[in-house]
Amino acid sequence: MDVKELVETLHFACTAEFWRMAIFWTLSLIFSYLQLFAQSLFTQKPIPPRKTATPTTTGTRIPVCIITGATSGLGAAAAYALSREGFYVVLAGRSSHMLLKAMDDIRAQNKDALLKAFEVDLLSFQSIVKFKGSLQQWLLDSNLHSSVQLLINNAGILATSCRLTAEGYDQMMGTNYIGAFCLTQILLPLMENSPVPARIVNVTSFTHRSG
Ligand SMILES: NC(=O)c1ccc[n+]([C@@H]2O[C@H](COP(=O)([O-])OP(=O)(O)OC[C@H]3O[C@@H](n4cnc5c(N)ncnc54)[C@H](OP(=O)(O)O)[C@@H]3O)[C@@H](O)[C@H]2O)c1
């Protein structure tokens, strides 16, 4: 960190936004931990998986969910939880190796999990378009209804400096906002085609308050 960055950091630490964010974070963390603690006191045993259908059952409507950034953190946890809820979970990430590992981890805890992985880089519009094509083909090949019930825009990065993507955007804006926006737009027809109301969940952060 050079002197200019140090001065900027110190200046930011003296702003009202920083302190507001710090207080919000701390309070919400304490609240979340208290909630988890209270839940652990009253929850006796884990909820058993709710499995209703198999992919080979012709015409069966297995709900399909797509989770971006499903190879680690919140995305991986959501993928596991939704697999237990009977969703066909589509894991989207940049690395095939990480995707395979994430699927193995889920199957180690839920051997009946219905999982599919696709490589997609949210920084590349081309990659997003390719993902949509592969997804549609897979739905067709698997005899699944041509629709998506849940999209979780979870992938995100916290960049410490500005780096440009091949398409000329700031990487953090590209991943956290533009990529998620393009993916959502391109998947909207599949979501609108859902026989039950479909849902989009955008995972975000208090940090935007300091923007
Ligand atoms: N953890 C927190 O305390 C916290 C706090 C506030 C907000 N959030 C938000 O919550 C979300 C998840 O956070 P996390 O901590 O669980 O994240 P994480 O463990 O760092 O995982 C981020 C995921 O995003 C994926 N990703 C990154 N760039 C990508 C790209 N260009 N294209 C496709 N996927 C990409 C990564 O997949 P690959 O690298 O395998 O491609 C990875 O699986 C993020 O949106 C984050 O901003 C988290």
- Distance from C-alpha of 209 to C-alpha of 49, rounded to nearest angstrom: 38
pLDDT for res 53: 47
- Distance from C-alpha of 185 to C-alpha of 187, rounded to nearest angstrom: 6
- CATH top-level class for 64-205? alpha beta
Dmax (CA) of the chain:
65
pLDDT digits (tens, 9 = 90+) for 58-97: 445 799 999 999 999 999 999 999 999 999 999 999 999 9
For ligand 1, whether the C-beta of 72 sits within 6 Å is yes
For ligand 1, whether the C-beta of 95 sits within 6 Å is yes
What is the DSSP secondary structure assignment for residue 164, as one 8-state letter? B
What is the DSSP secondary structure assignment for residue 47, as one 8-state letter? P
Q: Ligand 1 centroid vs 1 CA: distance in angstroms?
A: 24
Mean pLDDT of the region 12-35: 84
Q: Ligand 1 centroid vs 74 CA: distance in angstroms?
A: 8
For ligand 1, whether the C-beta of 153 sits within 6 Å is no
- Please state the pTM of the whole predicted model: 0.81
The DSSP result for 136-185, as a single string, is: HHHHHHTT--S--SEEEE------SS--B-TTSSBHHHIIIIIIHHHHHH
pLDDT for res 32: 80
Q: Is a pLDDT exceeding 90 seen at residue 49?
A: no
- Of 21-25, 44-48, 110-114, the range with the highest mean pLDDT is 110-114
Q: Ligand 1 centroid vs 143 CA: distance in angstroms?
A: 31
Q: Is a pLDDT exceeding 70 seen at residue 26?
A: yes
pLDDT digits (tens, 9 = 90+) for 97-112: 999 999 999 999 999 9
pLDDT confidence band for 54 (50 / 70 / 90): very low
| Ligand 1 atom, smallest distance to 77 CA | 16
Structure tokens given for 136: 């549609």
Mean of per-residue pLDDT scores for the chain: 88
Structural domain spans, the chain: 3-42, 64-205
Residue having the nearest C-alpha atom to atom 44 of ligand 1:
156
